[in-house]
Chains A and B, each alone.
Chain A
Amino acid sequence: EAGVAQSPRYKIIEKRQSVAFWCNPISGHATLYWYQQILGQGPKLLIQFQNNGVVDDSQLPKDRFSAERLKGVDSTLKIQPAKLEDSAVYLCASSHNVGTRTDTQYFGPGTRLTVL
């Protein structure tokens, strides 16, 4: 079974530029998560989708971050404009169901963003 795919793996941009990350979840997984992992910290949820609907975006800085999952499969996370503090690893995860607290989330390799 193929895992969660993410691209690009690394990205370096100047502050105020825009950037987009792509994620393809495990086939058949209804729920997709985007986490931000700042160096030295654990991942923190940015946004969660079930199929193509948003379940939780309470921690997403909506003035600069946006995300979509139009067909309920792959997803794009965008930052516009980027700030220095956005330097982090952006992790995508997927799980089979939402609302099932026993469900396991499987993570992709992440995209390491450096904002200069």
Chain B
Amino acid sequence: AQSVAQPEDQVNVAEGNPLTVKCTYSVSGNPYLFWYVQYPNRGLQFLLKYITGDNLVKGSYGFEAEFNKSQTSFHLKKPSALVSDSALYFCAVRDASNTGKLIFGQGTTLQVKP
């Protein structure tokens, strides 16, 4: 069965520093991986996805993610964090069935301090 794990409940970084939010996955077949961000009292906003091709995927708001097949990881990164990046981040994998539902990790809270 497909699954994702986000090993950190919270990540704290200083504004201007690089940030990494970790995600590992378990899939049968090719992985289709997604990152979403959730601000308080808001729905999930799509950041980026990995389907195939380059291992470094660029997304919205300056975020990027690195796909590593050997380590079954898909870590979210940003070179320079902003206070406004503080939010809840979810990694998700597309289910292998034809329904295409997303299976989400438990989420990581990113706190960027001035």
Interface residues of chain A, those whose CB is within 8 Å of chain B, are 4, 6, 9, 31, 33, 40-45, 48, 55-56, 91, 93, 95, 98-110, 112
Q: A4 to chain B: which residues have CB within 8 Å?
A: 43
Cα(A45)–Cα(B23), bound, Å = 20
- Do residues B44 and A43 form an inter-chain contact, with CB atoms below 8 A? yes
Q: A106 to chain B: which residues have CB within 8 Å?
A: 46
Cα(A50)–Cα(B16), bound, Å = 44
Q: B100 to chain A: which residues have CB within 8 Å?
A: 31, 48, 95, 98-101, 103
Main secondary structure on chain B at its contact with chain A? Answer: loop
A to B CB contacts below 8 Å, 13 in the list: A6-B43, A9-B41, A42-B92, A42-B104, A43-B44, A43-B90, A45-B102, A56-B101, A95-B100, A98-B99, A101-B94, A107-B46, A110-B42
Interface residues of chain B, those whose CB is within 8 Å of chain A, are 32, 34, 36, 41-46, 49, 51, 90, 92, 94, 97-102, 104-107
